[in-house]
Amino acid sequence: MKTVFLVDMQSFYASVEKARYPNLHNKPLVVSGDPKRRSGVILAACPLAKKSGIKNGERLWEAQQKCLDLVVVPPKMQDYITISVQITAILEEYSDLVEPFSIDEQFIDVTGSERLFGPPLEIAQKIQKQIWEETKVRARIGIGENKILAKMACDNFSKKNRSGIFWLKKEELSQTLWPLPVEKMFGVGSRMASHLRNMGVRTVGQLANVPLQRLKKQWGINGQILWMTAHGEDYSPVTTASHDGQKAIGHGMTLPRDYISLTEIRVVLLELCEEVCMRARKSGVMGQTVTISVSGASYEVQTGFHRQTTLYEPTNYVMDVFHTVEKLFLQFWNHNPIRRLGVSLTKLCPDDEVQLSLFDTDRDKKVELGYVMDGIKDKYGTTSLIRASSLTKAGQAFERSKKIGGHYK
């Protein structure tokens, strides 16, 4: 039987900031984007802030109304990435099977490590202690015989007990997991919870007792996964190759203000195509399906669209993607103000697999030009080569160059 941990960092961004500023240790603190640029959303709240009812994802002004002495710190993404990598290195001291699940969650298979470091609970305590001593971030650890049990152990039990460690055993599910509300099970969102409640399923245990064939008839393979999760079954191994074989490359951004004119919108669409194609080239792939996502300015009335089209042949050339995106935008835009734009490439293939064309005789030159531009940007910075349109007030290229994942470095 395997032993798998899910190691989760408590209020990760907020914990890093409190380690940076020890004088804020006893203050309610949140990490939030810049409200002046419409990114004032709570990214992380420390436990003291959460006691005031503040939740991740809510708007900053709402959080400030709940807690008048709230300390607001802007995100520093490069620091969070650096510490996340540092935590990965710590985990790799205990096992060679470490799989990042997100920036603040990582799976580790310690099955073969017990002879070196002791039984699972002892290993968990050692990991917890070392992470705290080296980063001043508190780790919560869920333990199970597979990844799904470790994840649910952490989410439902480790985060709520004093030790921050919990072992969820399959033979004890009827006493531990099954009495919980069905929405506490991994993979059950609000919409699925509503469907299950309409079936009379209120708890994880009731879901576990629904006949498998009924769930499969209702939701196909997803029904099978629901049943397996409720029974603590998961055959996916902890692997270092989980992020290999990328299926899509995309980039989106929330605009600093509502964009109304087509001229301004085209500037940002071109910049997004530049970003997506550059990332595709760095991954050595081309895409054949181009997708555009548009969100309207209103928060109350959801407007916008999500459309895609498949090209005759795959590409990672900026203008090929841009002309396709522009055509889709003009076809479906209702001329209402725009708040957010996104562009992505899917149906990826290696960039050394080329379908010869009788019509596009300049194809090789276009592809080579992209790689030459990438080389210049790698050497001198991402803004060393930009299009003239990015120098207008609509352009966001310089602002984005200061960020990682949409937040300042």
Q: Indicate whether 299 pLDDT > 70.
A: no
Whether the CB-CB separation of 344 and 285 falls below 8 Å is answered with no
Cβ atoms 186, 151 nearer than 8 A = yes
How confident is the model over 336-357, as pLDDT tens digits?
999 899 999 999 888 876 655 5
Confirm whether residue 104 is marked as ligand binding. Answer: yes
Active site residues: 105
What is the CATH code for 248-408?
3.30.1490.100
- What is the mean pLDDT of the segment spanning 37-44? 76
H or E stretch at 298: none
- Would you state the pLDDT for residue 384? 82
**Is residue 24 within 8 Å of 34, Cβ to Cβ?**
no
DSSP class of residue 300 equals S
- pTM for the complete prediction? 0.76
Q: Is residue 314 scored above 80 in pLDDT? A: yes
Name the band, by pLDDT with cuts 50, 70 and 90, for residue 372: confident
Give the per-residue pLDDT at 183. Answer: 94
Domain with residues 1-168, CATH architecture: 2-Layer Sandwich (3.30)
Q: Which of 324-328, 335-339, 394-398 has the highest mean pLDDT?
A: 324-328
Give domain 182-230's CATH superfamily. Answer: 5' to 3' exonuclease, C-terminal subdomain (1.10.150.20)
Boundaries of every domain in the chain: 1-168, 182-230, 248-408
E strand or H helix that includes residue 221: helix 221-230
The average confidence (pLDDT) of the chain is 89
The token duo for 231 is: 């029974």
The per-residue pLDDT for 361 is 57
Q: Is 14 helix (H, G, I), strand (E, B) or coil?
A: helix
Rounded Cα gap, residues 106 and 140, in angstroms: 11
384: which DSSP letter? S
For 231, residues 6+ apart whose C-beta sits below 8 A from its C-beta are 170, 173, 208
Is the confidence at residue 105, as pLDDT, over 80? yes
Nearest by Cα to 80 from 102, 57, 98:
102
179-222 confidence digits (pLDDT tens): 999 999 999 988 999 999 999 999 999 999 999 999 999 999 99
SS3 82: helix
Q: Is the pLDDT of residue 85 over 60?
A: yes
Which is nearest to 124 in space by CA: 172, 90, 89? 90
- Is residue 24 within 8 A of residue 71, CB to CB? The reply is yes
Residue 165: which pLDDT band, with cuts at 50, 70 and 90? very high
How confident is the model at residue 51, as a pLDDT? 92
Q: What is the mean pLDDT of residues 126-132?
A: 97
